[in-house]
Protein backbone atom coordinates (compact mmCIF):
# COMPACT_ATOMS: atom_id res chain seq x y z
CA UNK A 1 0.00 0.00 0.00
CA UNK A 2 2.81 2.40 0.89
CA UNK A 3 4.71 1.54 -2.28
CA UNK A 4 1.62 2.29 -4.37
CA UNK A 5 1.15 5.64 -2.64
CA UNK A 6 4.82 6.53 -3.28
CA UNK A 7 4.48 5.49 -6.91
CA UNK A 8 1.41 7.68 -7.40
CA UNK A 9 3.17 10.59 -5.68
CA UNK A 10 6.22 10.28 -7.92
CA UNK A 11 4.04 10.02 -11.04
CA UNK A 12 2.14 13.15 -10.00
CA UNK A 13 5.39 15.00 -9.38
CA UNK A 14 6.73 14.00 -12.81
CA UNK A 15 3.52 15.16 -14.49
CA UNK A 16 3.74 18.49 -12.68
CA UNK A 17 7.36 18.97 -13.77
CA UNK A 18 6.62 17.92 -17.36
CA UNK A 19 3.72 20.38 -17.61
CA UNK A 20 6.18 23.27 -17.14
CA UNK A 21 8.46 22.07 -19.91
CA UNK A 22 8.86 24.57 -22.77
CA UNK A 23 10.84 22.40 -25.17
CA UNK A 24 9.68 22.83 -28.79
CA UNK A 25 10.81 21.29 -32.07
CA UNK A 26 13.66 23.25 -33.65
CA UNK A 27 11.83 23.99 -36.90
CA UNK A 28 8.33 24.55 -35.51
CA UNK A 29 6.19 27.25 -37.09
CA UNK A 30 5.31 29.05 -33.86
CA UNK A 31 8.82 29.44 -32.46
CA UNK A 32 10.04 32.89 -31.53
CA UNK A 33 13.09 33.71 -33.62
CA UNK A 34 13.70 37.35 -32.74
CA UNK A 35 12.92 38.60 -36.25
CA UNK A 36 10.63 41.47 -37.07
CA UNK A 37 8.66 40.27 -40.12
CA UNK A 38 7.51 43.73 -41.19
CA UNK A 39 7.83 43.24 -44.97
CA UNK A 40 10.71 45.31 -46.37
CA UNK A 41 12.19 45.07 -49.87
CA UNK A 42 15.72 46.46 -50.15
CA UNK A 43 17.05 47.69 -53.50
CA UNK A 44 20.07 45.98 -55.06
CA UNK A 45 23.57 47.11 -54.11
CA UNK A 46 26.85 46.94 -55.99
CA UNK A 47 29.60 45.92 -53.54
CA UNK A 48 30.28 42.69 -51.67
CA UNK A 49 30.17 44.35 -48.25
CA UNK A 50 26.92 46.17 -49.02
CA UNK A 51 25.47 42.85 -50.21
CA UNK A 52 26.40 41.25 -46.88
CA UNK A 53 24.58 44.05 -45.03
CA UNK A 54 21.59 43.78 -47.39
CA UNK A 55 21.29 40.01 -46.99
CA UNK A 56 21.44 40.20 -43.20
CA UNK A 57 18.90 43.06 -43.13
CA UNK A 58 16.48 41.12 -45.33
CA UNK A 59 16.74 38.16 -42.98
CA UNK A 60 16.31 40.28 -39.84
CA UNK A 61 13.45 42.46 -41.10
CA UNK A 62 11.41 39.87 -42.97
CA UNK A 63 11.75 36.89 -40.69
CA UNK A 64 13.47 34.71 -43.25
CA UNK A 65 15.94 34.50 -46.12
CA UNK A 66 13.80 36.16 -48.81
CA UNK A 67 11.99 39.40 -49.45
CA UNK A 68 8.18 39.45 -49.30
CA UNK A 69 6.15 39.23 -52.52
CA UNK A 70 4.19 42.37 -51.62
CA UNK A 71 6.34 44.51 -49.30
CA UNK A 72 4.92 47.17 -47.03
CA UNK A 73 8.12 49.22 -47.37
CA UNK A 74 10.94 49.62 -49.87
CA UNK A 75 14.40 50.70 -48.79
CA UNK A 76 17.60 52.01 -50.33
CA UNK A 77 20.85 50.97 -48.67
CA UNK A 78 24.25 52.60 -49.04
CA UNK A 79 27.44 51.37 -47.35
CA UNK A 80 30.89 52.96 -47.34
CA UNK A 81 34.01 51.07 -46.25
CA UNK A 82 37.09 52.61 -44.66
CA UNK A 83 40.28 50.99 -43.39
CA UNK A 84 42.43 52.54 -40.71
CA UNK A 85 45.79 51.41 -39.40
CA UNK A 86 45.86 51.24 -35.63
CA UNK A 87 49.20 49.86 -34.48
CA UNK A 88 52.48 48.74 -36.00
CA UNK A 89 54.59 46.12 -34.23
CA UNK A 90 57.96 45.42 -35.83
CA UNK A 91 60.61 42.99 -34.73
CA UNK A 92 64.19 42.30 -35.85
CA UNK A 93 63.05 39.56 -38.21
CA UNK A 94 60.67 40.39 -41.02
CA UNK A 95 58.54 37.28 -40.42
CA UNK A 96 56.72 38.55 -37.36
CA UNK A 97 55.85 42.10 -38.37
CA UNK A 98 52.18 42.72 -37.64
CA UNK A 99 49.90 45.65 -38.01
CA UNK A 100 46.49 46.13 -36.43
CA UNK A 101 43.93 47.44 -38.90
CA UNK A 102 40.36 48.48 -38.38
CA UNK A 103 37.54 48.20 -40.92
CA UNK A 104 34.84 50.82 -40.50
CA UNK A 105 31.48 50.51 -42.24
CA UNK A 106 29.26 53.56 -42.47
CA UNK A 107 25.78 52.78 -43.69
CA UNK A 108 22.47 54.46 -44.26
CA UNK A 109 19.05 53.03 -44.98
CA UNK A 110 16.27 55.16 -46.47
CA UNK A 111 12.88 53.59 -45.76
CA UNK A 112 10.01 54.44 -48.12
CA UNK A 113 6.46 53.49 -47.28
CA UNK A 114 4.04 52.46 -50.00
CA UNK A 115 1.65 54.97 -48.43
CA UNK A 116 2.24 58.33 -50.22
CA UNK A 117 1.28 60.30 -47.08
CA UNK A 118 4.20 58.93 -45.04
CA UNK A 119 7.60 60.62 -45.44
CA UNK A 120 10.87 58.85 -46.21
CA UNK A 121 12.91 58.07 -43.11
CA UNK A 122 16.72 57.79 -43.03
CA UNK A 123 18.58 55.58 -40.56
CA UNK A 124 22.36 55.76 -40.08
CA UNK A 125 24.75 53.28 -38.53
CA UNK A 126 28.45 52.69 -38.02
CA UNK A 127 30.25 49.41 -37.33
CA UNK A 128 33.88 48.61 -36.61
CA UNK A 129 35.87 45.37 -36.78
CA UNK A 130 39.62 44.96 -36.30
CA UNK A 131 42.10 42.42 -37.61
CA UNK A 132 45.85 41.79 -37.58
CA UNK A 133 47.75 42.16 -40.82
CA UNK A 134 50.91 40.09 -41.24
CA UNK A 135 53.37 39.33 -44.02
CA UNK A 136 51.23 36.48 -45.40
CA UNK A 137 49.14 37.60 -48.36
CA UNK A 138 46.35 35.00 -48.18
CA UNK A 139 45.97 35.42 -44.42
CA UNK A 140 45.65 39.17 -44.92
CA UNK A 141 43.00 38.92 -47.61
CA UNK A 142 41.00 36.41 -45.56
CA UNK A 143 41.31 38.58 -42.44
CA UNK A 144 39.93 41.58 -44.37
CA UNK A 145 36.94 39.56 -45.61
CA UNK A 146 36.21 38.19 -42.14
CA UNK A 147 36.43 41.65 -40.55
CA UNK A 148 34.15 43.11 -43.22
CA UNK A 149 31.63 40.32 -42.64
CA UNK A 150 31.65 40.91 -38.87
CA UNK A 151 31.18 44.64 -39.35
CA UNK A 152 28.41 44.05 -41.92
CA UNK A 153 26.47 41.86 -39.49
CA UNK A 154 26.84 44.48 -36.76
CA UNK A 155 25.75 47.30 -39.08
CA UNK A 156 22.68 45.31 -40.16
CA UNK A 157 21.73 44.75 -36.51
CA UNK A 158 22.05 48.47 -35.78
CA UNK A 159 19.91 49.45 -38.77
CA UNK A 160 17.30 46.81 -37.91
CA UNK A 161 17.09 48.08 -34.33
CA UNK A 162 16.58 51.64 -35.54
CA UNK A 163 13.84 50.57 -37.97
CA UNK A 164 12.05 48.58 -35.28
CA UNK A 165 12.31 51.48 -32.82
CA UNK A 166 10.72 53.77 -35.38
CA UNK A 167 7.93 51.42 -36.39
The better pLDDT of the pair 83, 92 is held by 83
Task: Tell me whether residue 3 is in a domain.
Answer: no
Task: Tell me whether residue 9 is in a domain.
Answer: no
Q: What range does the domain containing 99 cover?
A: 35-166
Report the SS3 class of residue 140: helix
Angle between helices 137-166 and 48-62 (to 10 degrees): 40
Tell me, what's the pLDDT at 119? 83
DSSP symbol at 34:
S
CA distances from 145 to 51, 103, 105, 112, 152 (A): 13, 10, 13, 31, 10
70 pLDDT above the threshold of 90: no
Report the number of distinct structural domains present in the chain: 1
Tell me, what's the pLDDT at 3? 76
The better pLDDT of the pair 79, 5 is held by 79
- CATH number for the domain spanning 99: value is 3.30.160.150
Task: Tell me whether residue 67 is in a domain.
Answer: yes
Q: pLDDT tens digit string along 2-60?
A: 677 777 777 777 776 766 666 666 554 444 445 556 778 889 999 999 999 999 998 88
Amino acid sequence: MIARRNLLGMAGTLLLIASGCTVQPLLSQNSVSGTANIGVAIDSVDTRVAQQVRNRLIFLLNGGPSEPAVPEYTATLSVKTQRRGLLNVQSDTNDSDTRAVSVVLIGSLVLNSNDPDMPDIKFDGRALASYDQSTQLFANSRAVIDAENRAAAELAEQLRNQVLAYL
